[in-house]
Chains A and B, each alone.
Chain A
């Protein structure tokens, strides 16, 4: 049943990119345990506006766990303590009366803070631009059933394609690696026959872009998998590594440069 709780929030405030940020303390009073975490922030913001203060900026849109816009670090965990749950689907009944919550933006070299809890995740779009697609024009498609896809492969591809691009994996990783995100993208496409022809080129291009953007490498901490709201498996990283290795064999011009990089790390 619904009840109300009192919370103390320590929220990261930063007026803009490149400016110095700081923690500000707020009291979240009479919070219904039926609220979502973002609704709790809405209530705090309404109070701040009434007090003539600047409300806390945070990204959000669908509020049903699928658009990937929301996400902050709550008490050290991206998207907060509930497993397989985005911040917008996290409900206040999972917190105790009197608890203190520390709320911070996702932090990574490749994700710059724009304001308060809002970060720039356009690096993910750039990784996709580098090759995360099948090169087919709208007018070029063959009949849909002309290429059967084994049901189990389609299911595996769907598991990977469930990624919502929220960036929690990067925020959780001590290396701020984007391997889970990129691995999921690569897996989704390479598991399907439609994605095979460009597999090598895609793996090379995406890994290069990832490195260039300042994401770190994977060193098997598995923090990414633990916080992923869509439970994307790290086996996608293993598949990504395999694709990269295979690509190194078929792309002789890239092999020198790429092996040097991966040996160095």
Chain B
């Protein structure tokens, strides 16, 4: 298989313009003859549904939740980047492009990232027109802030609820099209299979989560916007229903999966407090601007933090990185916290936490100033932990937050299956091996509002479609397969619950394919995952029936997929003989413990082909060519 990224020729700056000109157009009167399926209603899915419907296509949109407005984009706090350069501090489309490529440690496709930076400004225009209540200056113009260590202020925000407000904007636009009859909305449906006929994606099978019915839906093209797979780790900042199932099942039907081991870990989350814990909550990393990170110098020191004197404390980030101190990047901060805990210096009931101390800042600036800056975060911390961070240091620990990997797509956001498009976090496209803060919202909306409406037209106008509807045998086979799979899970009637398996898989992945990886651990995981999968098949206990609302069965389906997918992550991590961005293999590091890339051998996108469960997948490489930026080593000295 030859991977063709279909990047248009010519200078970088004009590629997208030129491509839009070269794409075939669908006659306005013909648009209503095309059916498009969109799965997922986060920023990418909702914006795509609305825009495709506005153009005149007939759209069917599916989501797991009871309402499309609940997709997990809603939880994004910080903001959305754009190259508006309103503050006049030197930003430009080129700088946003460069920062994103560099932040991704040079493992993203130049042309895609440049297009993203170009589109960023249109997104802000549209969101304002929809009524997104962005923060404003007293003169009534839009406010910006600097975010995630960026040297320019290019982030637009709506309090700490930017994701929610952008999603509500996209949801409103989509509801308008439901009212117009152009979007048909199917909530509480979970995609269980992709239907491919004559090598074209022609529909999906969904499970109606209330009745348990397998429903068939045919279309001319399928758009997956089903988010990331962080929940493979069991604990993450993702919503509970987040899953890999939709893209994994498309992968099993032939779509290549790119860079699955690229997962981002966020350093400032509220630590795990017990085995019953179901998810982790993120707190803004702005806290590290004033908080000092430390652990007791002696392993196993369980004293109250306020009783531990200064000389008995190890401010490990300040010690190891004297110039950046507590402000080192996310991956460095995370890895060091883990190292301390592995040495037994971790604090809190589980020993998996480090202190984030505001005592000095409060003494220096006064409690009022600190309250003004971080009051809402302190409040959130107290609500969850019951502890007052003005009196005792906070405890934090890193958590899985975002997955840069996803289905491989070309410049048109089309996967290796013709007619299957993949948007947002579900694709691998724009963030390389590390995503910058406030860039996920930008990418989701760019894909949905401003890329797919053009590229899908090019596909539809240039493709012949044999007549295919829901009575085609391919739909019946897929529906039967999904029904049997559900029945199979219910029939096991073993001793361990689904959550129990999920928790164990999460532990394997976190320990061996988390913040720092090494070959021994990865090989160990490669052995234990198939064994766990085997046990799941023989010993899982899924109660209830397939014919009604059964949340245990829903989860069992997702965990079954994670148990297959996890092995691919391990394969990918083993195959990449370098460290880059969030993929940190301890065998490849600089003297300063930074990720050491190998641009000679590893400057490629790893795209994996499925060969059957438990069979080694085939690696295809898309070489990454950098014509416009020079590859450089990240440094925090």
Q: What is A's interface to B at a CB cutoff of 8 Å?
A: 2, 15-16, 32-36, 38-39, 42-43, 46, 48-50, 52-55, 57, 59-64, 66-69, 85, 89, 91, 93, 114-115, 118, 120-122, 124-125, 128-145, 147-151, 154-155, 157-158, 161-162, 164-165, 188-189, 192, 194-195
Q: Is B15 an interface residue (CB 8 A)?
A: no
Tell me which of A38, A50, A130, A151 contacts B138 (CB under 8 A). Answer: A151
* Size band of the interface chain B makes with A: 35 or more
Interface string of B531-564 (1 = CB under 8 A from A): 0000000000101100011011000000000000
Which residues of A are found within 8 Å of B66, using beta-carbon distances?
Answer: 59, 69, 118, 120-122
Contact of B136 among A62, A91, A151 (CB under 8 A): A151
B123-160: which residues lie under 8 A (CB-CB) from chain A?
124-131, 133-142, 158-159
Report if B286 contacts A (CB, 8 A).
no
Residues of A within 8 A of B383 (CB): 85, 89, 91
Complex alpha-carbon distance, A91 and B276, angstroms: 13
Q: Judging by beta carbons under 8 Å apart, are A63 and B278 in contact?
A: yes
B122 interfacial contact with A, CB 8 Å: yes
Q: Is B161's beta carbon under 8 Å from chain A? A: yes
Interface pair B549/A115, CB less than 8 Å apart = yes
Cβ–Cβ contact B124 & A151, under 8 A: no
Q: Is the pair B130, A115 in contact by a Cβ cutoff of 8 Å?
A: no
Q: Nearest A residue to B172 by beta-carbon distance?
A: A133
Which residue of chain A has its CB nearest to the CB of B450?
A138
Shortest Cβ distance from B379 into chain A, in angstroms?
Answer: 10
Q: In the complex the two chains form, what is the Cα distance from A189 to B169 in whole Å? A: 11
Interface residue? B215 (CB, 8 A): no
CB distance from A253 to the nearest CB of B (A): 19
Q: Are B276 and A137 in contact (CB under 8 A)?
A: no
Most chain B CB within 10 A, of A69, A133, A147, A155, is at A133
How far is it, in angstroms, between the C-alpha of A32 and the C-alpha of B54 when the chains are bound? 51
Closest 10 interchain pairs by CB? A148-B140, A133-B172, A141-B129, A141-B125, A158-B133, A141-B126, A61-B239, A144-B128, A157-B133, A138-B51
- A contacts with B: majority SS: loop
Please determine whether A134 and B172 come into contact, CB atoms closer than 8 angstroms: yes
Cβ of B217 under 8 Å from chain A: no
Contacts of B544 in A (CB 8 A): 54-55
Residues on B with beta carbons closer than 8 Å to the beta carbon of A138: 47, 50-51, 54, 126, 173, 449-450, 453
Chain B's nearest CB lies how many Å from the CB of A196?
10
CA distance A42 to B499 in the complex (A): 9
Which residues of chain B are near A121, meaning CB under 8 Å? 66-67
Q: In the complex the two chains form, what is the Cα distance from A33 to B385 in whole Å?
A: 10
Decide: A137 and B240 in contact? CB cutoff 8 A.
no
- 11 additional contacts, CB 8 Å, given A157-B133, A162-B164? A32-B274, A34-B273, A62-B240, A63-B281, A64-B75, A66-B161, A67-B70, A89-B383, A137-B51, A138-B453, A155-B133
B483 in the interface (beta carbon within 8 A): no
